[in-house]
Amino acid sequence: MVRRRNITLESYTCEMCILQHEETLRHLFFRCNFARQCWSSIGINLTISGQQQEQMDQK
C-alpha cells in the first residue's frame, strides 16, 4: 500500500503483527493478527472471497 504510493521507507512490513508481511490493504484488514483481534473485540468477523481478494490486489 505504502510502496504503491511511491513512499520510500526502510521497511514495508507490518509493524503491528509478528507475521512480517508487507503492509497491503488485504494484510491490514484481513490477515494481520493485531487487526483481526481489534475487529473481533468489537464483534466484527471480516471475511473476503477470492474475487474480492483479486480486486483488492489490483487497487
In tens, the pLDDT along 19-31 reads 788 788 888 887 8
Per-residue model confidence as pLDDT tens digits over 1-56: 555 556 676 777 888 877 788 788 888 887 888 888 888 899 988 777 666 666 66
What pLDDT does 3 receive? 58
Q: What is the 3-state secondary structure (H, E, C) of the chain?
A: CCHHHCCCCCCCECCCCCCCCECCHHHHHHHCHHHHHHHHHCCCCCCCCHHHHHHHHHC
| pLDDT at residue 50, as a whole number | 66
Torsional class of 6: left (φ above 0), alpha (ψ -120 to 50), beta (otherwise): left
* Neighbouring C-beta atoms of residue 16, cutoff 10 Å: 15
